Structure 1
């Protein structure tokens, strides 16, 4: 590992990113002198940076911040190739890292575990961190969501023998189109599933699948690949012969549901109640179990710890409840996630009316030629709602889509489609909220709705 003095000065170009701001805080806590710039910083990044006095006083790019005494510059994905600070760093010959390259630089002497896949990777990573933490193991990590019991979502320390990284398949930086997960050079890689999304980055299904095959093929001798064998494409990649690489398939953990509670059935037939639910989360538990087993966690240690795992932030997060109604929000935006989350809630509470609302918010989900990927994905819902903002379509310079296009794509004639969030709220308030559950799925905000307030109003 490169030896770094506590007086190292690091500058972040695009410090407001979800991982970038966490990495900046982690280095600050290690004693580094950290500075940064960005042209827009949203919550929660802004207040978290401010707490450590790392929030830039003015937004924008300032080449004068790039000085010869900097040890390194870390470049975020949000910056552009012609960024003036980047130009200055190149001119001065300062080493420029993407954050995946920097994380690798800091963990060369550690065992590296990477959790990848189109869906479930944040939850699986969070489960592993929870189990290791519960069992007082010393480890480093990088994960994309807030988890209970962890203040910061990146930790780098000299003494940890292990780092667990949530690794995604998207471009590393404006200068580097390699998938981020390739830079970590894992010893153990888990791939949770492959479902084509990010139409703007990977225009074809084949180009998307190829990224995961490259990851699997990159494993070193004595490495291990852990994969969901129920995913047909992934099963082909996982079962491929790789000399001296251990291949470990998994499927949904055996479970039962009693009175709206999910109970795991362990290999020795014990019953272990858990707080998360849904077939997709039972797969996530199996994946986390397989990784923890490779890291020396015993069955007893795993099952004792997993009982208290509450889920990652915004993943089937309970916003409010009363005796007959539960209201959840979920980060689900891709078709496979919308389907899995909706099915999970219906399975958990089969006798309750399920109202499921999905916001189309990403470049892919608002793309006319991608919309058909949502076919029947809301079939588990009793009342299905889709919200989108036509201004977002315009802003992303996409072909306009109509309410009829969306109904046709989802293959559901009774689909309620809203382009005005206040009309969607009025519709939800008109429903009889008794013996019913509400699921709000989006990576956006449903047109700046305060979802917690909405939950309170519906429950009242």
Structure 2
């Protein structure tokens, strides 16, 4: 039988089940460019990724069916959102086809022999990996990259260049599990030469029982860093510090504390910009918040390790335009600012609101929150969430996503959350209907107000719909 291994030259057919994920689509296109015959399927292909794949000449089957699978020998890539019961997954198993996960495909086909920089942590992965990628791009290093968002400077979240011209690969490393058949964290597949750990908190309550399980996964990652590599840890995070004590590779702590090897000095936030000093050099970014200063310091430290000149790093950060859905301003119609943000963990919400409070001063600040992630829709954050909204003047809580799939005592209680916020002196409401949220905001909002929408999903298109309503009034 011919080998179907991703690095093999024998079999050149590959099928992606769940092809319309950002990473799956980018890798599928790269495999096509490398001479493979690529097909794929997805439940709901939609632009822009469906258009991108069509332009690459990759056919997509609508919906999942055993008929979608290639009749002849092929390698099957199974997306991590799929599980037993999916008709294509069942057919793969019944036919005993060779299958793999996307992280393992990356490892065997794209990452071997290259300088892999893996950016991890509970918060800030997307922003830090975006900054780092842009620094390498600006320095004309032609990096390949895989990012869980869309950096505005790059216009796409993933790009895999020819290894002959692209020796560096920058990957956002997720601790979430790899696939239904491989419960290890995705990032353990990425052959890291340099690892960044921004911070460690409890998250992903659907697959981790406690913080110790998460730390164990990060510990496994650090065991893979070579002795000539580098580990950059948050020097102000006790969990990162503890992990560093057992790591076999060189470690540098990055942070504000006096003990940090790369100490962040003279931080400031002013008029929508933040800055700091590191390596006796001043850096500035067009983003607010202490968390973004930390993100930038990590990116600077990693780029410095690869000998990118400090003036080049300086100029790259000055020209960094941010990431879509990370404090992204959608409109300023009628003097009302609408901001879209991916935040869904209490710490991320708190840090983002603190940065926006610094930026907008005494403006009326509204926070709209959709409990949608697998952790935020559970009761785990019931006591933490009220304090996360401390810098907001008004808070609206939307419906708990997929609430019927959780037992009542297991899921977040939005009414209790609102009562907790009211007891803190906040103006707070629970409104499961997005239409009614928009109607209420139309009555409440005044020129000068700032609205930030927190969700790791679409919140039923709330940001775009509210923006359209405001613009229609002009």
Partners of 2:146 and 2:157 within 8 A in 1: no
2:83 alignment counterpart: 80
1:353 alignment counterpart: 364
Identify the match of residue 96 of structure 1 among 99, 103, 107: 99
Identify the match of residue 447 of structure 2 among 431, 434, 446: 434
Alpha-carbon displacement from aligned partner over 1:248-296 (angstroms, at most 9, x marks no partner)? 11126443233443344455464x5421221111000001011111111
1:230 alignment counterpart: 236
Return the alpha-carbon distance in structure 2 between the equivalents of residues 266 and 113 of structure 1.
20
Return the alpha-carbon distance in structure 1 between the equivalents of residues 447 and 60 of structure 2.
48
Partners of 2:147 and 2:157 within 8 A in 1: no
Q: Using structure 2 for the length normalisation, give the TM-score.
A: 0.87
Identify the match of residue 300 of structure 1 among 290, 294, 311: 311
Identify the match of residue 168 of structure 2 among 162, 167, 171: 162
Partners of 1:213 and 1:237 within 8 A in 2: yes
2:151 alignment counterpart: 147
Alpha-carbon displacement from aligned partner over 1:3-40 (angstroms, at most 9, x marks no partner)? 55598211112212232122112222333211012334
Q: How many residues align?
A: 454
* Pair 1:179 & 2:190 matched: no
Aligned CA-pair RMSD: 2.7
> Gaps spanning 5+ residues in structure 2: where?
257-263
Return the alpha-carbon distance in structure 2 between the equivalents of residues 162 and 370 of structure 1.
38
> How far off its partner does 1:396 sit?
5.2
Return the alpha-carbon distance in structure 2 between the equivalents of residues 403 and 91 of structure 1.
44
Return the alpha-carbon distance in structure 2 between the equivalents of residues 268 and 42 of structure 1.
47
> How far off its partner does 1:43 sit?
5.0
Q: Using structure 1 for the length normalisation, give the TM-score.
A: 0.90
> How far off its partner does 1:98 sit?
0.7
1:257 alignment counterpart: 269
1:455 alignment counterpart: 467
Return the alpha-carbon distance in structure 2 between the equivalents of residues 318 and 246 of structure 1.
39
> Gaps spanning 5+ residues in structure 1: where?
none
Partners of 2:367 and 2:389 within 8 A in 1: yes
Identify the match of residue 393 of structure 2 among 379, 382, 392: 382
2:373 alignment counterpart: 362
* Pair 1:283 & 2:283 matched: no
Partners of 1:12 and 1:35 within 8 A in 2: yes
> How far off its partner does 1:458 sit?
3.6
2:259 alignment counterpart: none
Partners of 2:41 and 2:61 within 8 A in 1: no
Identify the match of residue 215 of structure 1 among 200, 210, 221: 221
Call closer, same or farther: CA 1:51–1:312 in 2, change over 3 Å: same
2:201 alignment counterpart: 195
> How far off its partner does 1:324 sit?
5.1
Return the alpha-carbon distance in structure 2 between the equivalents of residues 273 and 433 of structure 1.
32
Alpha-carbon displacement from aligned partner over 1:194-218 (angstroms, at most 9, x marks no partner)? 1211111112222122211221233
Secondary structure of the residue aligned to 2:398 is strand
1:372 alignment counterpart: 383
Identify the match of residue 329 of structure 2 among 312, 315, 318: 318
Call closer, same or farther: CA 1:321–1:99 in 2, change over 3 Å: same
- Bigger Cα displacement from structure 2, 174-183 vs 61-70: 61-70
Return the alpha-carbon distance in structure 2 between the equivalents of residues 357 and 55 of structure 1.
39
1:206 alignment counterpart: 212
Misfit runs of 4+, over 6 Å:
none
> How far off its partner does 1:404 sit?
2.8
